[in-house]
A = this chain, B = another copy of it.
Amino acid sequence: MDESSASPRMNQYEKGKHTPDINTLKLLANELGVPLNYFFCEDEATAKLACLIADMSESEREALILTLEDSTLDSEA
């Protein structure tokens, strides 16, 4: 990532003139300390959850899956 052209690129992304490459997004995610899927969350809450889940351990994620599947059954019933 060339620092000298970072400013125009960020402007082009923000103004919607260009779309950043997926590889570029990975670099940005590392810089910002967020997971890559953070950029693809449709709302604030989902984005925050993505960050929280990224910081969890594998076993914590598995446990959360079970919890959510149970509560889903509740709301479907």
Contact = CB atoms under 8 A, between A and B. Distances in A.
Chief secondary structure at chain A's binding surface: helix
A7 interface: no
A28 interface: no
Q: Which of under 10, 10 to 19, 20 to 34, or 35 or more describes the interface residues of A?
A: 20 to 34
A9 interface: no
Contacts of A35: 40, 42
Interface in A29-71: 35-43, 45-46, 48-50, 52-56, 58, 60-62, 64-65, 68-69, 71
Given A19-B22, A37-B40, A49 B72 contact: no
Contact of A61 (B36, B49, B62): B49
